[in-house]
Structure 1
């Protein structure tokens, strides 16, 4: 039986969407393991400001399968189980338009993006799913995808491709894990006002970025976190396999 206080593992939780997701679950009474890569000070600040008790913090390089296994094992050790996994971690975005970059930089961009955004997410999904199956009472896996998976990213093609593959991986896992009562969904945000995007929102691009949505603004991390929280609920089981667009009507798929 799933306890009232669920055990939540959020990757990339030091800042931005991941931090907002961790806060949303903690404010609702859940216990959260915050994963981070290298942003130790930011991650410590994030976990210290979470409401409630018993939250954990663990650093892991998601390019390393061994460290991913350690992350999930430590989550089980500290929190007792894994009820929800939120795949939020992503490699830093470095522009690599095909007509401007060297072949070496092109290869490096693709390698970096796929290792974290796709393979890392697939590996942690595997490890968390094994634990959920062992527990025997289901679970939830929510991936943070992107609008760029559908509309194209000419300045960041590896990013767009990695997110498209993440969407597809989530749908495959939804079918594979359904017999174990594990729902797998993906949210696909558009532009979000995170720390990573603050420079662009304060610069010459700001007006163009804001105009992409008919609402005349970008999303807050908290708006994305609210959708993630719903998808982790009992009521959202029937959403398994879905890719939910959260882009303020800035991109509408047919």
Structure 2
């Protein structure tokens, strides 16, 4: 009997030098809410975290004090300007001795329904959203990626986008538009940075509970929000953070370029 010819072995993938813990992580907008949950998740994983804050220093200090392990730092600064973003990246990189992971979480989300918003306020609100949600994400990504390239060993960038980029945000159109742009930016960078071992991905959360939105989850409005998902609830910040930690892990390199929906089946893309 003739023995079957064995199938040719697949070429072995080179071992990634990107570590599973002990990484240097910059989380923007980490003074509270999802940013705090992200910082806590990375710290519990054994990573060292730079906790960025804009104006809420006391809350950022509470985040810092809540982190497991040691070696974490504060990185304060205004991300709405290129110089401010540069200062934050420099502070984080110097404090941690480098940057291996960037999570672009800082965002503005101010209501501005077109029909009832005066033009001057409309223009200011759009500028604020573009400056923080989109340009700060682009600037920090540039700064962190250059550090990662110089360090060698690859890296991760994870952007916090939104379900609103796909289903629309009638009362927050600049938020929806800038989050859609963040998704597109992440996909462009995923292609460009792959030769350097840097994976880039985004998450698109639906409604999740934080201190800021807690009042909206009471009464009839809260019932309507929870009813958006067939699970009859909203997400926790920890659930969103868990997905981000996976995308930032060595196991998730092949997810580079993805936009991961995290909305409890409240909006299904086709």
- TM-score over 0.5 for the alignment? yes
Alignment counterpart, residue 104 of structure 2, candidates 75, 87, 92: 87
The answer on 1:190 being equivalent to 2:206 is yes
Deviation at 1:108, TM superposition (A): 1.2
Q: TM-score, normalised by structure 1?
A: 0.97
**Partner of 1:46 in structure 2?**
63
1:16-64 per-residue CA deviation (whole Å, 9 max, x = no partner) reads: 1111011001001100000011111110011011110010001111012
Contact 2:141–2:157 (CA under 8 A) maintained in structure 1: yes
Contact 2:162–2:176 (CA under 8 A) maintained in structure 1: yes
**Partner of 1:246 in structure 2?**
262
The answer on 1:31 being equivalent to 2:54 is no
The 2-side partners of 1:67 and 1:44 are apart by: 20
Unaligned stretches of 5+ residues in structure 2: 1-16
After TM superposition, list the pairs within 5 Å mapping 1:123-202 onto structure 2: 123-202=139-218
* Runs of 4+ with >2 A deviation: 1-4
The 2-side partners of 1:45 and 1:88 are apart by: 18
> SS in structure 2 opposite 1:213?
coil
1:73-100 per-residue CA deviation (whole Å, 9 max, x = no partner) reads: 2222121111100000001x22111111
The 2-side partners of 1:31 and 1:11 are apart by: 14
The 1-side partners of 2:124 and 2:89 are apart by: 28
**Partner of 1:56 in structure 2?**
73
1:214-253 per-residue CA deviation (whole Å, 9 max, x = no partner) reads: 0000000000000000001111000000000000000000
Unaligned stretches of 5+ residues in structure 1: none
The 2-side partners of 1:51 and 1:95 are apart by: 36
Deviation at 1:2, TM superposition (A): 4.8
User: Taking structure 1 as reference, are residues 157 and 222 closer, same or farther at Cα in structure 2, changes over 3 Å only?
Assistant: same
Alignment counterpart, residue 208 of structure 1, candidates 217, 224, 227: 224
The 2-side partners of 1:193 and 1:56 are apart by: 26
1:119-145 per-residue CA deviation (whole Å, 9 max, x = no partner) reads: 011001000000001011100000000
After TM superposition, list the pairs within 5 Å mapping 1:57-76 onto structure 2: 57-76=74-93
Aligned-residue RMSD, C-alpha: 1.0
**Partner of 2:237 in structure 1?**
221
